[in-house]
Amino acid sequence: MWRGSGKTVLANFLTESSDITEYNPTQGVRILEFENPHVTSNNKGTGCEFELWDCGGDPKFESCWPALMKDSHGVVIIFNADIPSHLKEIEMWYSCFVQQQFLQDTQCLLIAHHKPGSGSGKGNLSLSPPLNKLKLVHSNLEDDPEEIRMEFIKYLKSIINSVSESRDREEMSIIT
């Protein structure tokens, strides 16, 4: 969620959107609509449609965050694992975007993004509670791009299951 952490590059990769060759900080939010054929709902066999909201990491956009969070089903927190200050700020993002929105921990995915040429691997990141309960994946689009794509698909499937279960409970409460 920070400036320069690689959110936009990763978002473009995961949604198979156009490549951005030069760094341009996201102003406010950029909404990517995409369909994933590997994620289906109710065994219909067709891919689910998603919206991924690429939120600019500059604090000057903080006033926009409530609108971005409204009715969200999941949160992906992307940070540059090579910048120590990012590790310290994850708790603030988690509190704001997950806890205050009453999302479950399973609806949050942490991605430690390693930029090309950073030389960093998947070193052990020690996260303090409650962050250590969250799913944490490392991404390096240079070394193993398919690993992060597969983890993202797993995450999308878990979000679809969560939304379906919530709707089922809601329907049952109306019936009874």
Could you give the percent of the chain with pLDDT greater than 70?
86
Q: How far is 77 from 5, CA to CA, in rounded Å? A: 10
What is the CATH class of 7-174? alpha beta
Q: How far is 154 from 48, CA to CA, in rounded Å? A: 13
Query: Is the overall model pTM greater than 0.75, yes or no?
Result: yes
**Residue of 85, 89, 83, 18 whose CA lies nearest to 54:** 18
Residue 76 has a pLDDT of 94
Q: Are 108 and 134 spatial neighbours (Cβ–Cβ below 8 Å)?
A: yes
pLDDT band at 176 (very low <50, low <70, confident <90, very high): confident
- Domains of the chain by residue range: 7-174
**Residue of 82, 22, 18, 30 whose CA lies nearest to 57:** 30
Instruction: Find the length of the chain.
Output: 176
Q: pLDDT tens digits for 135-156?
A: 999 988 888 889 999 999 999 9
